[in-house]
Amino acid sequence: MIEGLSHMTFIVRDLERMTAILTGVFDAREVYSSGEETFSTAREKFFQVGGLWIAIMEGEPLPSRTYNHVAFKIQDSEFEAYEARIKAHGLEIRRPRERVSGEGRSIYFYDSDNHLFELYTGTLAERLERYAKGNGA
């Protein structure tokens, strides 16, 4: 039986660059660094973000950008502050998709390894409730 999410791993060219993004944008707490040792397939670091385990490993970045992404929940009142953090790190913000009102707001941004992240103000329950009303609502 699946108990929940164990961890997410992102392959990155530069561990220190991604460390700055995770700590500066997501308030991640670094809990492990392999240094020059390799216990897995490459040098790696582990972080905690809102109770989630995020691993980064040194390697070749994704060859292209897609809409595949990981979304993190934020409060709507913090939207502008997070947007400023992302801009301060020089990260590319992707234009959000068209939305219906009441669906929540999103900030989509890419890291330098073509990973797409989303900071989202809504919840699944809110989205389902809004979609149940149809397009005319």
Active-site annotation, residues: 44
CA distances (Å), 64 to each of 31, 42, 73, in order?
Answer: 30, 22, 25
**Rg (Cα) of the chain, in Å, rounded?**
17
Q: Which helix (H) or strand (E) holds 54?
A: strand 52-58
Structural contact between residues 71 and 108, judged by C-beta atoms closer than 8 angstroms: no
Residue among 137, 80, 134 nearest 105 (CA): 80
